[in-house]
Structures are given as structure tokens and as C-alpha cells.
Copies of this chain bind each other. A is one copy, B any other.
Amino acid sequence: MQDSNVASIVEDPELIAKRRGQIVAAATQLFAREGFYRTTIKDIAKLAGISSGLVYQYFREKEDILLLVLLEVLDSYSREIPQALEGVTEPLDRLLKAVDAYCRVVDRHRAAAVLAYRSTKSLPPDRRRELIQQREIETNQIIASAVKDCIKQGLIRKVNVDVLVYQIVLAAHGWALKSWYFKSRISLDEFIRETIDILLIGILTPVGEEQRAKQKRRANQRGKVQLPT
């Protein structure tokens, strides 16, 4: 549990790490289940097995807990995805593996992932929100650089990287955000497979030259689309 601008009264770094760990773990659970405002400091303290006053030895205010909870989520992304990519060298393999890993991290931290969408606004709008956004951008870099490598090697088309990256990210988050829907309909493995399938080769059917040209024209009216010939 890094400090991240969050002040603590206690000095001992080990103790800080331990206590903050307890508190953040409890808070993550409760924030995810009940939401930030419905969760009281007393609830958090009780679940963490400490007194409510002690929370304030490690966090200046309730919102600081939320901050660390959210940073934890983001950190779990930028920790676990690179880890999954270790040893994978082929650019396209790396990209696919990254998508796969992202979805699986989200799945593992499902509640926390949703939390990030729900509660970021509960932070005061100052540098703390920026902290979160900065972290999100950093995490996205992992995906982005995999995408760029693929483009560089001509493995994927020259698409807009920002849009593609967020398409991937949102799809992954979607597994958590819409788990109420997917849960009973599809497994994580299938979800990942289908998502990659669509992303990689699109949805259009392969068509004869004539058809394709027609399709292409129609699609091109919508904008930049350059169907492969």
C-alpha cells in the first residue's frame, strides 16, 4: 500500500502498510457492495477488525480511503497484465494475451472494477481525480503499446489507437459492468473469445468482389472505413 499523497499519523511504514491493507480491503468490499456513501467508517472498521478511531490514524478522511481503494484497482491492472505478458514476445500474441489478461483481472476484481465507475465522482474534483485518470492512462499504455507494435509490424491495420484501446478496455470492463446480464448467459472464456473474435476480424462477412465493393462504398459513406481488398 503505497502512500500516494495520502497522509497518515502513524510513522512505521510496515504498520502503515498492514493497517491500510486491512482498511482498504474492508472498504473495497463494502464500497462495492453498498456504495461509498452507504458505507460508514464504523462498518469499515468493524470489518477490518479495528476501532473506528484507528481508521483516522491512517487516513485523513473517508474520501482518502476511496482514493486508495480506486488506486488499488488500477494498480492491480498494471501489475497483473504485464505479469501475464511475461515471456510473450510476438506482438500480436502480446496484444491478444493482454486483452485476455485484462478481462481476467476485471473478472477477479469484478466488484472493484464496477466501483471505479460508480465512485470516482465521490472524490473531490481536485488533483485526486487527476491521480486516478493519470493512472488509468498509464494502464492503458500497456494495451496501447501492444497495439502500436502490431501496427508497426503490419500485423494490424492503422486504426485509431485511442479508440481501439478504449474499445478493448470498455469491453473488458463490460464483463464486470454488465455481469448481471452475462452471468447467466456466457462464460468468461467464451466472452473473451467472442470479444477478440469481433475485434480482430470485424463483423462483416467475407464477400465476393462485387458485393464487397458495394458494401465498402456504403460503409465508406459513414467515414473513414477502408475495407481491405
Contact (Cβ within 8 A) B228 A206: yes
- A215–B196 CA distance with the chains assembled, in angstroms: 13
A167-203: CB near B (< 8 Å → 1, else 0) gives: 1001101100110111001100111111111111111
Return the contact of A205 from the options B37, B154, B185, B219 (Cβ within 8 A): B154
- A154–B157 CA distance with the chains assembled, in angstroms: 24
- What is the size category of the interface that chain A forms with chain B? 35 or more
Contact (Cβ within 8 A) A201 B173: no
Q: Given A118-B117, A193-B225, decide whether A219 and B200 contact each other with a Cβ distance below 8 A.
A: yes
A164: nearest chain-B partner, CB-CB: B198
- A202–B65 CA distance with the chains assembled, in angstroms: 41
Whether a CB of chain B sits under 8 angstroms from the CB of A227 is: yes
Query: Which residues of B have CB within 8 Å of A202?
Result: 198-203
Q: Given A166-B174, A166-B181, A170-B173, decide whether A228 and B201 contact each other with a Cβ distance below 8 A.
A: yes
Whether a CB of chain B sits under 8 angstroms from the CB of A142 is: no
A117: nearest chain-B partner, CB-CB: B117
**Distance from A138 Cβ to chain B, minimum over Cβ atoms (Å):** 12
Whether a CB of chain B sits under 8 angstroms from the CB of A93 is: yes
Query: Which residues of B have CB within 8 Å of A122?
Result: 35, 37-38
> Which of A157, A193, A198: most chain B Cβ within 10 A?
A198
Return the contact of A199 from the options B37, B155, B198, B218 (Cβ within 8 A): B198
- A197–B191 CA distance with the chains assembled, in angstroms: 21
Whether a CB of chain B sits under 8 angstroms from the CB of A229 is: yes
- A159–B199 CA distance with the chains assembled, in angstroms: 11
Contact (Cβ within 8 A) A194 B160: yes
Query: Which residues of B have CB within 8 Å of A119?
Result: 118
Whether a CB of chain B sits under 8 angstroms from the CB of A223 is: yes
Query: Which residues of B have CB within 8 Å of A182?
Result: 162, 166
Whether a CB of chain B sits under 8 angstroms from the CB of A137 is: yes
Whether a CB of chain B sits under 8 angstroms from the CB of A96 is: yes
> Which of A119, A121, A225, A229: most chain B Cβ within 10 A?
A121
A-B contact pairs, 9 of them (CB 8 A): A38-B122, A118-B118, A156-B205, A170-B170, A170-B174, A170-B177, A193-B222, A198-B202, A201-B225
